[in-house]
Amino acid sequence: MAGGTASEALRDRVSRLENFIGVPEDDGAVPLSVSTEQHAIELVDFRRILDDFMTEMSAKITNIMEDVVSLTDVVKINLKSLEDDVALVKQTVPAHPGAIREQPKQEGREEENRDVLCIAVEDWAAER
């Protein structure tokens, strides 16, 4: 692995520098080689956490996309049903305009209106 080789080479150089210059006094300072080791360990941990996060988010996104596709299918079915209902109404309304338009109220017209409506319903039933 090229990254591991570079890390080892860097560690060796830092160790040689510390050996040449000397290890820092115990004033709370952490030797560079120790700090580099700690950072390498933390980097591996961060990489693992990031990989886990990406896997989890990928699964969630897949679930959301499946839900969206399902919802789209349901909406398409409902839309088709509504289109069929509208088409039926459009077929029925122009054929019998007198049956649904509001007639002025006059005495004796109720029976005539009922007859027109019955004829319209019979015609509609015969067409089906």
Rounded to 10 deg, the angle between the 32-95 and 2-21 helix axes is 150
As a residue count, the chain comes to 128
Q: How confident is the model at residue 1 (pLDDT cuts 50, 70, 90)?
A: very low
The DSSP annotation for 68-107 comes to HHHHHHHHHHHHHHHHHHHHHHHHHHHH-HHHHSPPPP-T
Report the alpha-carbon angle 69-74-80, nearest 5.
Answer: 125
Q: What is the pTM of this model?
A: 0.44
Tell me the pLDDT tens digit for each residue of 55-87. 999 999 999 999 999 999 999 999 999 998 888
Q: Scanning the structure block, which residue is given the tokens 């596709």?
A: 69
Query: Does pLDDT of 102 surpass 60?
Result: no
Tell me the pLDDT tens digit for each residue of 14-45. 788 777 776 666 667 777 778 888 999 999 99
Question: What are the domain boundaries of the chain?
Answer: 65-92
Q: How far apart are CA 16 and CA 10, in angstroms?
A: 10
Q: How far apart are CA 40 and CA 120, in angstroms?
A: 85
Q: How far apart are CA 62 and CA 94, in angstroms?
A: 48
Query: Does pLDDT of 111 surpass 80?
Result: no
